[in-house]
Amino acid sequence: MSSSENMKDRPYWRWSKQDFFPEESFRDRTTYLNALSHTYSRFKDRLLARSQDSDEIQTLRKQSENDMKRCLTWWDLMWFGFGAVIGAGIFVLTGQEARGNAGPAIVLSYVASGFSAMLSVFCYTEFAVEIPVAGGSFAYLRVELGDFAAFITAGNILLECILGSAAVARSWSSYFATLLNRDSDSFRIRTNLADGYNLLDPIAVVVLAIAATIAMSSTRNTSVLNWIASAVNTLVILFVIVAGFSNADVSNMKPFTPYGVEGVFRAAAIVYFAYGGFDTIATMAEETKNPSRDIPLGLLGSMSIITVIYCLMALSLTMMQKYTDIDPNAAYSVAFERVGMKWAKYLVALGALKGMTTVLLVGALGQARYITHIARAHMIPPWFALVHPKTKTPINATLLVTISSACIALFSSLDILASLLSVSTLFVFMMMAVALIVRRYYVSGVTPRTSATKLVGFLLIIISSSIGMSACWGLNPSGWVGYTVTVPLWFMGTLGISVLLPQQRTPKVWGVPLVPWVPSLSIATNVFLMGSLGPMAFVRFGICTGIMLVYYVLFGLHATYDMAHQQPQVKLNAVDI
């Protein structure tokens, strides 16, 4: 019997040291100390080590011992897009930003942020079609930017998964209380802990546990439940749009831009996060029947429709009520009440609650796939990569995200979670755009060294000029002098790639149009939006990144080094399967 067959016969629920730290570096105290003494040389080895498409698609998948079931179509992915993206954000952020930053021009804020989100969607779609694995952005960056960049991104993905689920669960609890005509904190337990951590939320924990249980039971059943719930939520949204336009008063749209262009973009930086969650759809590629057809239809189709829905909802609100009269906490509910439709506020609250439920459901599904592939590469213990033989779902990875999210959701307030989550999300999206340019213009062993050097130089110009534009906006939004330097630099960096470097790789089925302009613009917009966040978000981001680096030096580096240098044996075992 081959070693791979022995692995198949092992029980799913097992807890030995070999399942968590099977690498040679962790065999005993002596080997671990020896590994630590070679940290520098191992770091040099892994810094720019790049994976191959075939390794991500075939070899690493064997680490899960069982395959996930291919059971999804473009229809499932389309509804996953709705379920992952349309949550509480549209109901909360629209009124808040229309009142305080954009006025009726909030619709332009949604257009701008939707445009930025679509740029990232294009990048994700090409990668998901070319490398259809559960790892999403982690797998794509491992192939194009190397192990270390993938690790930093993996850390942020983990952070995004855990904090995102915790934030939505806290929002769910607040909306549930509102639906019952209670104060939003009425079901939370007040303690003597520090502000921001002193309201315990047991309902958020229960909701996370229920969503995770459904996701662990079956991908197909979760998909059916999601599209039914999303369809109901879509009907609520259509009611909001139709009822809003039926009670519209065009005079409420004047003045259209009371806070100027600056206000439109300030609001765009915030409402952008109503589009968050689409990246989890890419993690479903391994369970999609026909990735090359289904992923572009599902991902691009759902995001295009969502952008139109968001713009119509924003327009209906500002036409129904003067922007100065909008309630920033319950915009749609109060607006309907003032036009004589008091009962509609319960429908709005129910729609928001259903939206958050599907966000949690799809999040539990997609986030576990991220964790699974990260564990396949041994950046975290491979025990989390195991796929259950009966459910065909990664139960261990789902438990990791759910338990971590539940612990944070129990204590942390929403504002603390949201700011840190925003930085992590935008950082990952920016890295994805960089990776797409590298994929098109650099192939190891084929691209001449001079071309590779030029590519690095042009990318540094694009990134640094994007940071410069963000800094100009943050320091003096009404100024223009800084842009006369940074915008031409960005343009010249992108033009340099377009004119002076030949593309080394052509997508087999579906590709991003207008490369390098589209991914370069994605880099600029994501960095720009990062610069719109407060300083404390970056302080927390820096602390979390520091913790990630400590983990990498002590564990992740040595595990991935051993994994990489044991690849011939892994491939040999794969042949036996």
> What are the phi and psi torsion angles at 278 (to 5°)?
-65, -25
Question: How far, CA to CA in Å, does 316 sit from each of 238, 271, 324, 441, 512?
Answer: 11, 16, 15, 45, 33
- HEC profile of 478-542: CCCCCHHHHHHHHHHHHHHHHHHCCCCCCCCCCCCCCCCHHHHHHHHHHHHHHCCCCHHHHHHHH
Q: What is the pLDDT of residue 421?
A: 62
What is the Cα–Cα distance from 553 to 393, expressed in whole angstroms? 31
pLDDT at site 482:
84
Is 382 within 8 Å of 375 (Cβ atoms)?
Answer: yes
Q: How far apart are the first and last CA of the chain?
A: 11
Q: Quick one: tokens of 302?
A: 């759902």
DSSP 8-state code for residue 93: H
Nearest residue to 287 (alpha-carbon basis) of 172, 372, 393? 393
| Sign of the CA dihedral with 104 first, then 107, 110, and 112 last | negative
Paired tokens of 176 = 């549930």
Is the Cβ–Cβ distance between 198 and 190 less than 8 Å? yes
The CATH code for residues 66-428 is: 1.20.1740.10
Whether 278 and 83 have beta carbons less than 8 Å apart is answered as no
Q: Which residues contact 449 (CB under 8 A, 6 or more apart)?
A: none
Residue found under tokens 């459910």:
391
Exposed, middle or buried: residue 483 (CB in 10 Å: 0-12, 13-18, 19+)? middle
pLDDT for position 354 = 83
- CA distance linking residue 65 with residue 57, whole number of Å: 14
Beta-carbon contacts of 550 under 8 Å, excluding residues fewer than 6 positions away, are none
Residue-level pLDDT at 94: 86
Measured CA to CA in angstroms, residue 107 lies from 110, 112, 315, 352 at distances of 5, 9, 6, 20
pLDDT attached to residue 568: 42
DSSP letter at 377?
T
CA geometry: angle at 421 spanning 416 and 425, to 5°? 165
Crossing angle of helices 74-85 and 219-246, in 10° steps, is: 60
Inter-helix orientation angle 395-411/344-376, to 10°: 130
Phi, psi of 187 (to 5 degrees): -95, 5
SS3 of 169, please?
helix
Residues 441 and 503 sit within 8 Å (Cβ to Cβ): yes
Percent with pLDDT over 90 in the chain: 32
What is the structure's pLDDT at 541? 77
Q: CA 359 to CA 208: how far, in whole Å?
A: 11
Please give the model's pTM, rounded to 2 decimal places: 0.84
- Predicted pLDDT at 88: 63
Quick check: 507 and 439 in contact, CB under 8 A?
Answer: no
CB count in 10 Å sphere of residue 362:
28
pLDDT recorded at residue 570: 40
Residues 97 and 172: beta-carbon distance below 8 Å: no
SS3 state at 189: strand
DSSP state of 389: T
pLDDT per residue, tens digit, the chain (577 aa), is 444 444 556 788 888 888 898 999 999 999 999 999 999 999 998 887 888 888 888 888 888 888 888 888 999 889 888 888 887 677 777 888 898 888 999 999 999 889 888 999 999 999 999 998 888 888 899 999 988 888 888 787 777 778 778 888 888 887 788 778 787 778 888 888 777 677 888 999 999 999 999 999 988 888 888 888 888 888 888 988 998 899 888 999 989 999 888 888 878 877 877 787 788 888 888 889 998 889 899 988 989 999 999 999 999 999 998 999 888 767 887 888 888 888 887 888 788 788 888 888 888 888 888 889 889 989 899 999 999 999 989 999 999 989 998 998 888 765 556 555 667 778 888 999 999 999 999 998 889 999 999 999 999 999 999 999 988 877 777 777 888 999 999 999 999 999 999 999 988 888 899 999 999 999 999 898 887 766 777 777 788 888 889 999 999 999 999 988 874 444 433 333 3
Closest CA to 288 of 522, 78, 96: 78
Strands 189-190, 199-200: pairing kind: antiparallel
CA-atom Rg of the chain in angstroms? 24
- Beta bridge mates, 288: 72
- Residue 362 is given by DSSP the state H
Q: What is the pLDDT of residue 196?
A: 67
pLDDT at position 8: 53
Q: Are 520 and 437 in contact (CB under 8 A)?
A: yes
Tokens at 334, concatenated: 């109060």
Using CA atoms of 177, 533, 273, 325 in order, give the dihedral in degrees to the nearest 10.
Answer: 60
- Tokens standing for 329? 């906490």
d(CA 309, CA 237): 8
Instruction: Give the helix ranges, DSSP H, for 218-341.
Output: 219-246, 260-271, 279-282, 291-320, 331-338
Look at residue 199 and give its three-state secondary structure: strand
φ, ψ of residue 72 to 5 degrees: the values are -110, 145
Rounded to whole angstroms, the Cα distance separating 496 from 500 reads 5
Q: How many CB atoms lie within 10 A of CB 287?
A: 24
Cβ proximity of 380 and 141 under 8 Å: no
For CATH 1.20.1740.10, the residue range(s) in the chain are 66-428
According to DSSP, residue 10 is labeled S
The whole-number pLDDT of residue 576 equals 36
Which residues lie closer than 8 Å to 128 by C-beta, 6 or more apart?
136, 281, 282, 285, 291, 295, 299
